[in-house]
Amino acid sequence: MWRKERVYEVGKIVTTTCDVDVVEEETHFTSASAHVHIWEIMVYNRDLQKIKEDISDVEKRLKNSRIENIPTYIKSFIFF
């Protein structure tokens, strides 16, 4: 399925309606600096993915801990 998008011309830069960063003409934006930015994004993305996995692991441990400890709590409450 193809999505139709509107295209707008802004000075010499053509963008679509999706998110786009615009670089000023005076800025010396080179292929090398683009590679650096892409590398940084990849590193941040990896870090973010690791944080998401850590959060998921903690949530699983909390959930399992509650489920495992509930029978123990009930036993101690009933017998003591």
Q: Where are the domains of the chain?
A: 35-79
Under 8 Å between Cβ of 80 and 72: no
Least confident of 5-14, 39-48, 57-66: 5-14
The confidence score (pLDDT) of residue 46 equals: 92
Question: φ, ψ for residue 43 (rounded to 5)?
Answer: -65, -45
Give me the half-sphere count of Cα atoms (radius 13 Å) on the Cβ side of residue 56.
6
Q: How far apart are CA 68 and CA 51, in angstroms?
A: 25
pTM, full prediction: 0.45
Residue found under tokens 């940084």: 40
pLDDT digits (tens, 9 = 90+) for 67-76: 566 666 555 5
pLDDT digits (tens, 9 = 90+) for 12-39: 555 555 665 666 666 677 888 888 899 9
